[in-house]
Amino acid sequence: MKKWGFLIVLIALGYIFLRSSVAMPDPDQTGVPVMELGEAVDGWSAPGREITLDLRNDVYQGDLLLVNKEYPVHAEGVRKDIVRLADERDLDRGYGILDRDIQLSRKVAEAFRQMVEAAGEEGVRYFLISSGYRGFDKQQQLYEEKGSDYALPAGHSEHNLGLSLDIGSSLGAMSEAPEGAWLQENAWKYGFILRYPKNKVNITGIQYEPWHFRYVGLPHSAIMHHKDLVLEQYLELLREEKRIGVELDGIHYSVTYYPATSNANVFIPEKGEYEISGDNMDGVIVTTSNEEQ
């Protein structure tokens, strides 16, 4: 699919430490195995509890939803915290917007602001947002005006979620601007992924879109960057492995896939946090995190 765009030089760097397991987590196991500097280390133990969750209501909402021609956005998948960036002075800093009506999830906008502020500290500061959240009506209008070569029909675009944005540079094409190179190296640290890479067209079904970034959150962006996976591949990996443990910046994460067919027993760290996201197909991903003591 063709769209206006910028060319980005791909720079793939990863330095996180991770290890996958192939079985569902044992209810008695409270540790997440990790790998550091390529060597296996002992699992960590964290006090917690097991709770029973009905995950069937979570399939169509969350940060890890797969949206494409086959899997449309459901109403509950649209972010509830959509804001107009021009009206949010605490968010509209460190970058330009090409349209004052551009909207985005507040959560995603906050992560983007933190990302461009970090880039600015390194002298990279000419970012632009050209597109963010689009309602179904706006998406359908774009599809009818531009056709299938340039847009997806309403409900089948990631922009309908509020989690995706198109990023450019006021210095010129992203293939030549430092903004593009910086994002390729660092976007994953802030929960973002380049959604449609050049070498994954046969998997995503979308032509290379070096401007289109999607928020999935940590640790998912880190794992995907480290393993060179797009969202389709990452969700398939989770379905196969059932569970992935990762240590990142002193925080231990456990990412577990559950078929959304019945109630599930989920381990929750006592002092940690957990997030739930559906995959927009037939599964739910539960991510727990706990700082190393």
Q: Output the six-digit token pair for 207.
A: 């032509």
What is the mean predicted confidence (pLDDT) over 11-25? 31
Residue 209 appears among annotated catalytic residues: yes
Which residue is catalytic, options 209, 236, 247, 291?
209
Q: Does the structure show a pLDDT above 80 at 119?
A: yes
Q: What is the pLDDT of residue 154?
A: 87
Residues 42-56: what's their mean pLDDT? 70
Q: What is the pLDDT of residue 291?
A: 77
The rounded percent of the chain whose pLDDT value lies above 90 is 60
Question: How large is the angle between the packed helices 106-121 and 178-186, nearest 10 degrees?
Answer: 110
Section 238-246 average pLDDT: 94
Task: Indicate the range of 19-23, 148-152, 190-194, 200-204 predicted with least confidence.
Answer: 19-23
pTM of the predicted structure, to 2 decimals: 0.83
pLDDT beyond 90 at 89: no
Question: In which band, very low, low, confident or very high, does the pLDDT at 293 lie, cut at 50, 70 and 90?
Answer: low
Domains in the chain, please, with CATH? 17-23+32-291 (3.30.1380.10)
pLDDT (mean) for 62-88: 96
Instruction: Give the pLDDT score at 292.
Output: 64
| pLDDT value at residue 199 | 94
